[in-house]
């Protein structure tokens, strides 16, 4: 595609955008004196217009039915999570039996590590990416401690000296070099800081060849990049719904366990009554019989209001389809990158985009490293109504989320940089 720098070109792109009407399905923040341009769908996605209505329906049914709403409400709360399963499974390329919406993200990291981190003898190490999101690091460290180990059991693969990204071949060779000792490979599917999307298929293959389980934290991947968890034979994964999936602050999480483990009751797990065989749940028996598949990892009955917010958003994703979302993601991200590079040429290379250039190694996030005065530039953007994300020491992260960011928004962003560089 031959991009151009003019505002007219941006407007033409918006006119031709097959997803342009989806923008109207979201509420843009309006507290600023200027029109707001929202680039933080990688942190907290915008509120869909329908969220209030769907949550309102649950409040109405709670008022009308009280406890009987568990079976009498329009979407019975007893089986509420089932309303979401197939739409959520489609987003991550999973089967329904492999998917459940439940708990919060870090809770699910712990629950699945209980099952899939099983150190035995010298096979006790975990391989992860250096500078993983802090919650992942704390979860890994505390799981190691729980099993009586220390950080020495953690193999962290980082970028080479002077580089920002982690080379795929370095991850694969670290797996091969440690194949006798590796119990688990656990990586963030898309790195929160650089936006690097790892090759999950090949990492899974390498991990399995080494005799380890393989799992991914997909917080920055779900609803952003195209995933095929079932096909790639990933053992387990989890994600949050409040970033690219627009399902309310701190919203419910998704959990994936591959079908091959669906009936493996010998996997250790922390159990709760909602994971128990649903036909017998109310017999209140002492012994735990897990449901088949991902549902067997549920602890508690569903937080219906949070689930309702997720339901509202998943319907939008179903209508748009991950294929079309992916097409726009690649195009608008490449366009934004083009504009930034043009501004950069005009201003003696004042910035560096540290996110991979290759579309198959990124989603819709670009991380911009400023050579100097990044915070001042961030403040200028904020003053003009742009919502972006600042990360110390000198990085601005932006995500042109395909469902509601326009080409004109991207043009505006680059124009502010151009004015203040």
Candidates 5, 50, 86, 104; binder of ligand PLP (CB under 6 A) is 104
Residue (81 or 220) nearer to ligand PLP, CB:
220
Residue with smaller CB distance to ligand PLP, 13 or 218: 218
Nearer to ligand PLP, 125 or 220 (CB): 220
Distance CA(388)–CA(376), nearest Å, equals: 13
Q: Where are the beta strands (DSSP E) in 329-402?
A: 351-353, 366-370, 386-387, 389-391, 395-398
Q: Which residue has the tokens 């598949």?
A: 293
Using the rule CB under 6 A, which residue among 106, 364, 367, 384 binds ligand PLP? 106
- Specify the stretch interacting with ligand PLP by CB under 6 A; choose among 56-64, 103-111, 113-121, 366-374: 103-111
Three-state DSSP state, 255: strand
Provide, rounded to whole angstroms, the least separation between the CB of residue 107 and ligand PLP. 7
Residue with nearest beta carbon to ligand PLP: 106
Cβ burial of 380 (10 Å; 0-12, 13-18, 19+) is middle
| Residue selected from 58, 181, 217, 295 as contacting ligand PLP according to rule CB under 6 A | 217
Cβ atoms of 34 and 386 within 8 Å: the answer is: no
Q: Could you tell me the strand order of the sheet in which 236-240 lies?
A: 99-101, 253-257, 236-240, 213-217, 182-188, 125-129, 154-157
Instruction: Show the tokens assigned to 204.
Output: 């899974």
How near is the Cβ of 238 to ligand PLP at its closest, in Å? Answer: 9
Distance CA 39, CA 352 (A): 18
Residue whose entry in the numeric block shows the structure tokens 């250790």: 268
Positions in 111-150 near ligand PLP (CB under 6 A): 133, 135-136
Are residues 297 and 275 in contact, defined by beta-carbon separation less than 8 angstroms? yes
> By the 8 A CB rule, do 186 and 140 touch?
yes
Give yes or no for residue 105 binding ligand PLP (CB under 6 A).
yes
Q: How far apart are CA 378 and CA 409, in angstroms?
A: 16
Binding segment (CB under 6 A) for ligand PLP, from list 99-107, 197-205, 275-283, 320-328: 99-107
- The single residue among 101, 165, 219, 229 that binds ligand PLP, judged by CB under 6 A, is 219
Q: Which of residues 172-191 bind ligand PLP (CB under 6 A)?
A: 188
Judged by CB under 6 A, the residue of 3, 38, 192, 411 near ligand PLP is: 192
Instruction: For the CB of residue 104, give the shortest distance to ligand PLP in the complex, in Å.
Output: 5
Shortest Cβ 200–ligand PLP spacing (Å): 14
Interface stretch with ligand PLP, choices 149-157, 166-174, 216-224, 365-373 (CB under 6 A): 216-224
- Asked if residue 227 binds ligand PLP (CB under 6 A), the reply is no
The values of phi and psi at residue 301, to 5°, are -65, 155
d(CA 95, CA 231): 10
Site size toward ligand PLP, by CB under 6 A: 12
Nearer to ligand PLP, 58 or 136 (CB): 136
Judge whether 274 and 307 are in contact, CB under 8 Å: no
Residues of this chain that bind ligand PLP (CB under 6 A): 104-106, 133, 135-136, 188, 192, 217, 219-220, 240
């Amino acid at each position: 595609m031959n991009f151009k720098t003019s505002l007219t070109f941006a407007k033409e792109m918006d006119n031709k955008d097959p997803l342009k009407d989806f923008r109207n399905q979201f509420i843009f923040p309006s507290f600023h004196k200027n029109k707001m341009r929202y680039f933080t769908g990688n942190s907290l996605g915008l509120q869909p217009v329908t969220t209030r209505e769907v949550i309102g329906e649950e409040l109405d049914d709670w008022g009308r039915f009280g406890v009987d709403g568990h079976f009498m409400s329009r979407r019975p709360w007893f089986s509420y999570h089932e309303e979401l399963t197939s739409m959520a499974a489609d987003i991550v390329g999973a089967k329904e039996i492999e998917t459940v919406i439940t708990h919060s993200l870090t809770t699910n990291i712990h629950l699945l590590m209980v099952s899939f981190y099983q150190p035995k003898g010298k096979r006790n190490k975990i391989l992860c990416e250096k500078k993983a999101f802090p919650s992942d690091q704390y979860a890994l460290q505390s799981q190691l401690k729980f099993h009586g180990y220390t950080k020495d059991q953690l193999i962290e693969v980082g970028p080479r000296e002077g580089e920002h990204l982690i080379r795929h071949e370095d991850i694969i060779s670290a797996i091969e070099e440690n194949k006798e000792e590796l119990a688990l490979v656990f990586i963030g599917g898309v790195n929160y800081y650089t936006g690097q999307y790892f090759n999950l298929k090949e990492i899974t293959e390498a991990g399995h060849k080494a005799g380890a389980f393989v799992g991914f934290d997909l917080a920055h991947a779900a609803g952003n990049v195209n995933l095929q968890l079932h096909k790639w034979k990933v053992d387990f994964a989890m994600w949050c719904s409040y970033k690219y999936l627009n399902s309310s602050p701190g919203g419910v999480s998704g959990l994936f366990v591959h079908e091959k483990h669906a009936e493996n009751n010998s996997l250790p797990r922390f159990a709760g009554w909602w994971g128990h065989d649903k036909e017998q749940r109310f017999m209140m028996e002492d012994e735990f019989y897990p449901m088949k598949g991902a549902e067997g990892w549920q602890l508690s009955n569903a937080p219906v209001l949070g689930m309702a917010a997720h339901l509202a958003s998943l319907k939008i994703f179903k209508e748009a389809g991950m294929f079309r979302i992916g097409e726009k993601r690649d195009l608008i991200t490449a366009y934004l990158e083009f504009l930034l590079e043009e501004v950069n040429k005009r201003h003696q290379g004042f910035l560096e985009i540290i996110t991979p250039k290759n579309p198959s190694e990124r989603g819709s996030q670009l991380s911009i490293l400023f050579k100097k005065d990044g915070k001042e530039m961030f403040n200028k953007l904020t003053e003009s109504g742009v919502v972006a994300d600042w990360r110390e020491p000198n990085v601005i992260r932006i995500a042109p989320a395909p469902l509601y960011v326009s080409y004109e928004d991207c043009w505006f962003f680059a124009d502010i940089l151009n004015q203040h560089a």
